[in-house]
Every structure is written in structure tokens, then in C-alpha cells.
């Protein structure tokens, strides 16, 4: 679970607990079993605060902080770009070597589609525990069986392992059903091979 999801859960939990607490106070107000509150609400002293010179500043400041926090929270939900480069072990005497993940993803997608068992392939790169990960999403070709799908995936995984040895790239394959009849096909079957 990433940090954003933890923040979401904690904040939603706090909001929920706050509502439960407020609701319980309202529930207990009339019977007064626990809190023994005044039966009539008086807001006079709170209204007196509004007449102080500093009140508008305090209200505006609190509002601005709330709005900025909410904005930060919203922006944190925007989709993040994955890593743009994948580091490779550099040969002795040379500088660092890195592969751009964009073209690598395209080559990987084409290779997956060229197996004949999968199509509509798309690769997303991300970071997980300090390493780069590649999630390959693809659809089963019409009439392909599980043996063909597993062979295709094993073949591609082996080629990635051999071609990017030492890059510590974890690859996961997520396969969905073929598009329903009538959906446009975008197959790029060819003879791409990762070497």
C-alpha cells in the first residue's frame, strides 16, 4: 500500500470517528445520560468573539489552511509519472548507463503482442521498495488458450531477464479478457525480439 492510500485511510478514519463522536453528543443531548448538557444551546459568547478585531484574520487564516490542505490532498491523487530511466550496470571504465523507460515500454508491448497469444499490451513503470517495476497489461487474443498465454509470458519474461540482466527490474503480467466483439483492435504483431 502506498503512502497516499495510508493518508486517505487515516484521514477518512479520523473524519468518521469525528462524526461518530459528534453524533453521540447530539444523541445524548436530550436524555443527558452521560454529558448532562444544557437543554438549550446559547451561542452568545461565541458571537462576542466575532466582534474582536483579530477574528476575521483568524477565520481567514483557518480557512486558508483548510483550503491549502485540501488542495494538497486533492493534488496527491493526480496520477504520478513512473520513473523515466532504468539504470543498468555500467561496463568497467564507463559512465552510468540508463535506458529510457518510454521506448523500453513500447518495445516490451510490441514483443508481448508479437507472441500471438496476447494483444492490446501496455507497460507501466513504477518504483517499489527502491527498485523499478514494470506492469504489463494485455488482453488474451481471441481463441488463445492458457498454455499459449503462459508460454508467451514465460518467453517474454526470460528475454527481459536476459536482456536487462543486472537491472533488477521486476515484471508483472496482468491479463484481461479479449475486447468484446465490435471493439477496435490495435494489434501490432511483428517480429520484435528483446536482445
Partner 1 sequence: MSAPRIPEPRGRPAAATTAVLLALVLLVGGAALVVDATGSGGRERSASVRWVLEQLDGLRADEATTAIGAGVVLAGLVLVVLALRPRRRTHLPAGDPDLWLTPRAAGVLAAEEAEQHRDVLSARVASAGRRRLVLAVVPREVEPPPTLAASVRDAVVEAVPALRSSRVLVREEEG
Within 128-167, which residues bind partner 1 (CB under 8 A)? 128-133, 135, 139-140, 143-146, 149-150, 153-154, 157, 166
Tell me whether strands 131-140 and 118-128 are parallel, antiparallel or unpaired: antiparallel
Tell me whether strands 97-100 and 118-128 are parallel, antiparallel or unpaired: unpaired
Q: Which residue number, 100 or 146, has a Cβ lying nearer to partner 1?
A: 146
Q: Select from 12-20, 92-100, 102-110, 187-195 the region that touches partner 1 (CB under 8 A).
A: 12-20
**Residue 100 lies near partner 1 (rule: CB under 8 A):** no
Residues 21-40 that bind partner 1 (CB under 8 A): 21-32, 37, 39-40
Do 146 and 131 meet the contact criterion of CB atoms below 8 Å apart? Answer: no
User: What is the C-alpha separation between 177 and 38, in angstroms, rounded?
Assistant: 63
For 185, the grid coordinates are 483492435
Please state the closest distance from residue 116 (CB atom) to partner 1, in A: 14
Count of residues that interact with partner 1, criterion CB under 8 A: 86
Cα angle 11, 126, 99 (rounded to 5 degrees) comes to: 155
Kind and range of the H or E run holding 133: strand 131-140
Q: Which residue number, 7 or 84, has a Cβ lying nearer to partner 1?
A: 7
Please state the closest distance from residue 192 (CB atom) to partner 1, in A: 19
Do 187 and 118 meet the contact criterion of CB atoms below 8 Å apart? Answer: no
For 128, phi then psi, to 5°, come to: -145, 120
Q: Which residue number, 111 or 139, has a Cβ lying nearer to partner 1?
A: 139
**Residue 78 lies near partner 1 (rule: CB under 8 A):** no
Q: Select from 62-70, 94-102, 105-113, 182-190 the region that touches partner 1 (CB under 8 A).
A: 62-70
Amino acid at each position: 500500500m502506498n503512502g497516499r492510500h495510508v493518508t486517505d485511510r487515516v484521514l477518512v478514519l479520523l473524519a468518521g470517528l469525528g462524526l461518530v463522536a459528534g453524533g453521540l453528543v447530539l444523541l445524548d443531548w436530550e436524555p443527558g445520560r452521560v454529558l448532562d448538557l444544557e437543554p438549550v444551546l446559547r451561542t452568545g459568547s461565541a458571537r462576542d468573539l466575532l466582534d474582536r478585531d483579530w477574528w476575521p484574520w483568524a477565520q481567514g487564516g483557518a480557512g486558508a489552511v483548510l483550503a491549502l490542505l485540501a488542495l494538497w490532498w486533492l493534488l496527491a491523487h493526480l496520477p504520478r509519472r513512473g520513473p523515466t530511466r532504468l539504470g543498468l550496470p555500467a561496463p568497467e571504465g564507463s559512465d552510468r548507463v540508463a535506458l529510457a523507460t518510454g521506448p523500453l515500454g513500447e518495445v516490451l508491448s510490441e514483443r508481448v503482442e508479437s507472441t500471438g497469444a496476447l494483444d492490446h499490451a501496455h507497460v507501466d513503470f513504477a518504483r517499489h521498495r527502491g527498485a523499478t517495476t514494470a506492469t504489463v497489461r494485455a488482453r488474451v487474443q481471441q481463441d488463445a488458450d492458457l498454455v499459449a498465454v503462459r508460454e508467451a509470458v514465460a518467453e517474454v519474461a526470460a528475454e527481459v531477464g536476459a536482456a536487462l540482466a543486472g537491472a533488477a527490474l521486476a515484471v508483472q503480467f496482468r491479463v484481461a479478457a479479449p475486447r468484446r466483439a465490435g471493439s477496435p483492435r490495435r494489434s501490432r504483431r511483428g517480429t520484435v525480439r528483446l536482445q
